[in-house]
Structure 1
Amino acid sequence: MNGIRLRHLAFTGPNIEPAKLEFVDGLNIIYGASNTGKSFASEAVLFMLGAVSKLPKTDEIKAYDAVWLGLTLGDQGEFTLYRPTKGGNLKLFPGLITSHPTGKGEVLSGKHSAKATDSVSYRILETLGLQDRWIVRNASGEKEQLAFRVLAKFAVVGEEDIMSKRSPAYVSNSYTERTLDQNLFKLLLTGQDDAATVTVPTEPARIAAKAAKLELVDEMLAQLDKELGDAPADRTQVDAQLAELDASGATTTAELRAVQTMLDDNAAERRAAVDRRQELTARAAELDITLERFAKLQAVYNSDLDRLHSIE
């Protein structure tokens, strides 16, 4: 089973009885007289789902320090989101609870990030199968990654939106956001996002880019004018100077080649001399060994000769 199911919304605090709303499967309607907390309950649900960062400021909320939202996350089972009334990160605990359990819980950020998966927004979108989706937000094809704060407008509907005469697809109630609303509604109906859409630069962006290029060309021309000076040389003089430089360059190249040839010859001679020296060194070592052997033989011969003389 995909999707999420709200189970309860509870406020707790020290020395005060918990305030709790129970939810059922399907559509839940919070109704009552004016100023009894209907809008506050909607905002509290959005607060717990990461769609808003703060709770509305009311006198009644001052006595509470924690909010608990029980929910079923698809086939994953039942969980409870905990968040301090002052805002900040959330914690996700297994099971339906309204007080701190012994476990530490999974810390989730209240802010959606395109590169992070440890936010309540990503966790909910993943359960819905809508993670890593992209929505076109304007006629130029500019895209933004789907966050639950955008999708929440279809999930939690306030009293004013219910009574409004505008199309329910335009949940933002802003003309500039109509493209985003339409594409979001299309995603919900078809499951297809706008990741493949190619972004087209807007007319102001194209004009600005063209102006920047022209400005760069003007700067390059100004730099060339500065280098040429107030009285630049005529074409004939420049051609003559280029011819002289070419001739000088050719002469220098020939000289460099001759020097390189000499260097190559010297390197070859040096290599040959090094090889000859190594050869002579090896032969000298062999002669030293031979002389050492002859010296040992001479010592043996002298010893034998002395022994013969002693016998006589």
Structure 2
Amino acid sequence: MDCRIPAGRVPDKRRRKPMNHLFLRYLGYFGPQRKTAEIEFVPGLNVICGASETGKSFIAESVDFMLGREVPERNITEQVGYDRVRLAIESSDGRPLTIDRSVEGGDFVVYDELLAGRAPTGEQRKLRWKHAGTRTDTLSFELLDRIGYAGRRLRQNAKGKTRSLSFRDVARLCVATEEDIQRKGSPAMSGQFVTATAEYAALKLLLTGTDDSALVSVDDDSPQRQRDDGKIELLDQMIEELQAELDEAGIDETELRDQEEKLKNSLSLQAEALRSAQSELNGLLERRGEVATSLRSSRARMKEIEELVARFTLLDSHYKTDIERLGAIYESGSFFVHLTVHACSVCGAHPGEQHLDSDCDGNVEAVVNASRAEIAKIERLRRELAYTLDSLRTEHRDLSEGLPGIEADYRALESQLSEIVSPTVTDERTSFNELTAKMAAVRLSLGKLASLARLRERKTALTEEEEVAGDAPQGTKTVIPKSVQDEFAQEVQQILSDWDYPDASRVFFDEASKDLLISGKGRGSTGKGLRAITHAAFTIGLLQFCKERDLPHPGFVVLDSPLLAYWKPEGEDDDLRGTALKTNFYKYLVGMSKDCQVIVVENEHPPAFVDGQAKVTVFTKNPAVGRYGFFPV
């Protein structure tokens, strides 16, 4: 079946079905081999409270995800193993609707029956997650149709261009996650420049019941205007994408500037610590190098001495052999000297005629004297050699005795390097690199913010050029009548008064900030705790305002940590402990009509009187007591 609306047509709101409210009845996570994580809701007041890190805030985020958010706000460890989410919704006219979706996002499978953990019995339908004004097969159309808002249109810009209302435009006014409820901006605005016009138009729609269908877009078809419009459209797209990226990262310029300054100081201190550690390391390395050089020199000298001793010992043995040989010559020659003189057996000369003073081979006495002189010379050399050997052995002994000390010094330095100084330098360098990486990330984010500012400046310049041009069409402006603003402000003032909020005697709606002024002070200029409770008053006031005037509204609100000022105040001015606000807050919610539904997520338990008048779910974070958390242990 073709679920698309013919081009140029939208559902006629004058023939819409009677307005209904919606009640959230069940939220569950399913997965193979996983026990279902589930929670049921009732009309009226629902309180989910207990210990931190038990999945309370994740419930609010999951409801927002199942109402058409593109992707989950975050994933948590306990979610691993689950692949499907289910949300059961019941209209005030009794019509049930159960929607299933992958935990990763995408389209929905829906059943026209109220399912909890059981399997469906009827046929399923598929609904697209992304809103499209010309289609009826979207979750957005399904929910808008049930509350009587299908086919409504919202202004997009000052030229009167409009788009179809999406349920996400309404859901953001009903579901306040922990991050939303603490924001400084208006509860009606996301803070994104490119969507501000449509968001304010959505608030006007809920407060007045009037949409922007009657607006006629005025266009200038001149070539220059078309070029400028194309540039502006491109700039809008770039701004939207960059803003979405910054929003996804949760970037705040003030916080980034603070981080940059703190990181500069930390980097300076860390650089000094690194230089000190590196200096100590360099000193130890230098000392170790000196000791290592001394160790190598000692070992080399000892080896050299050992080689010299071995050579000199061999030389001494040669000297000894030479002395023995010369001694034998000397002794033999002595015998010849004392023999009887005869005629020479060689030349036959008589003793008187022999040339005994000649150095011939036959001059025994000369040989004997030469041997004696050579022996004396060798003995002198041996004495000198013995002295040298003694010196070398003494030096070797001294080196050998000093070597253990040098080795001990080397080991001590090596140990100090490997166990103390080097790890310290490594840690300091790692810390320095981490800080450097953080600084780079901060400066990258600041660069993106600067780029966003430049894009907006360029868009403003182009827009101003259009306005200056004489043929530029005059724009229009979304206006919430002053009387409606005052009535809504009085509604919120009465709520704050009933809660006993401090100094709530005067509440006005400030059109410039699209937010409330409470006793002359901007709502967003207070601490996180006070912003949370006044955001809750804004959201509940919008629900009550619509109900009292029979204006369409989903009929439910989800508030995550509205009483932050009770358990995590920012300072003395943000501290509501000791006041009756908490008690009065719950008295008011208990007293609201059961035609409305309020789901409160809080850390602290509500007063005792709430137990019998509301559905209270307590997460204990104790496997042995009560319910541990949203996900089974």
Tell me the TM-score range normalised by the shorter chain.
Answer: 0.5 to 0.7
Task: Tell me which residue corresponds to 1:24.
Answer: 42
Is residue 199 of structure 2 the alignment partner of residue 181 of structure 1?
yes
* Structure 1 residue aligned with 2:148: 129
- SS where residue 154 of structure 1 aligns? coil
Q: CA deviation at 1:109?
A: 1.6
What number of residue pairs does the alignment pair up? 211
Q: What are the within-5 Å matches in structure 2 for residues 59-208 of structure 1?
A: 59-93=77-111, 94-170=113-189, 172-201=190-219, 207-208=225-226
- Structure 1 residues 136 and 204, CA, compared in 2 at 3 Å: closer, same or farther? farther
Q: Distance in 2 between matches of 1:211 and 1:153?
A: 30
Q: Does 1:8 align with 2:33?
A: no
Identity %: 38
In the alignment, the residues of structure 2 paired with residue 142 and residue 161 of structure 1 have an alpha-carbon distance, to the nearest angstrom, of 28
Counterparts of 1:182 and 1:149, CA distance in 2 = 13
Distance 1:168 1:115, change over 3 A: same
Q: Can you list the C-alpha shifts for 1:108-157, whole angstroms capped at 9, x where unaligned?
A: 22221211111111100000100011100222222111111222111211
Cα gap change, 1:92 to 1:211, in 2 (>3 Å): closer
Q: Aligned to 1:139, what secondary structure does the other structure show?
A: coil
CA distance in 1, matches of 2:212, 2:140: 19
RMSD (Å), alpha carbons: 2.9
Report the CA distance shift for 1:28/1:199 in structure 2 as closer, same or farther (over 3 A).
Answer: farther
Tell me the secondary structure at the aligned position of residue 52 of structure 1: coil
The one-character-per-residue Cα deviations of 1:181-221 (angstroms, maximum 9, x if unpaired) are: 22110101111100111223489986346999xxxxxxxxx
TM-score by length of 1: 0.59
CA distance in 2, matches of 1:60, 1:205: 57
**Partner letter of residue 205 of structure 2?**
L
Deviations 1:20-63 (A, max 9, x none): 12223246565555444344322321222223244633332221
CA spacing shift, 1:37–1:138, aligned 2, 3 Å: farther
One-letter code aligned to 1:116: R
Residues 177 and 165 (structure 1), Cα distance of their counterparts in 2 relative to 1, 3 Å cut:
same
Alpha-carbon spacing, 1:176–1:120, altered in 2? closer, same or farther (3 Å)? closer
Q: Which amino acid aligns with 1:106?
A: R
Would the alpha carbon gap of residues 31 and 182 (structure 1) be closer, same or farther in structure 2, given more than 3 Å must change? farther
3-state DSSP of counterpart to 1:68: strand
Residue 57 (1) aligns with residue 70 (2): no
Q: What is the CA–CA distance in structure 2 between the aligned matches of 1:201 and 1:33, rounded to whole Å?
A: 57
Question: Which residue in 1 is equivalent to 2:581?
Answer: none
Q: Which whole-Å CA distance do the structure 2 matches of 1:69 and 1:150 have between them?
A: 19
Deviates more, 1:126-135 or 1:106-115: 106-115
Q: Deviation of residue 72 (structure 1)? A: 0.5
Change (3 A) 1:177 1:86: closer
Of residues 45-54 and 125-134 in structure 1, the stretch that sits farther from structure 2 once superposed is: 45-54
Larger radius of gyration: 2
Contact 2:100 2:110 in 1 (8 A): yes
Cα distance between partner residues in 2 of 1:6 and 1:153? 16
| Structure 2 unaligned blocks of 5 or more | 1-18, 231-633
Q: Using the alignment, how far apart are the partners of 1:82 and 1:211 within structure 2?
A: 41
Residue 26 of structure 2 contacts residue 116 of structure 2 at CA under 8 Å; is this kept in 1? Answer: no
Q: Quick check: 2:131–2:141 contact (8 Å CA) kept in 1?
A: yes
**1:101 Cα deviation from its structure 2 partner:** 2.0
Conserved? CA contact 2:70–2:105, under 8 Å: no
Query: Distance in 1 between the 2:49 and 2:183 partners?
Result: 17
Match of 1:262 in 2: none
Aligned to 1:260: none
1:47 partnered with 2:61: no
Q: 1:5 to 1:167 in 2, by over 3 A?
A: same
Give the TM-score normalised by the residue count of structure 2. 0.31
- Higher relative contact order, chain-length normalized (CA < 8 Å, sep 6+): 2
* Matched AA of 1:189: L
Q: Which amino acid aligns with 1:118?
A: D
SS at match of 1:80: strand
8 Å CA contact 1:11, 1:19 repeated in 2: yes
Aligned in 2, Cα 1:210/1:80: closer, same or farther, shift over 3 Å?
Answer: closer
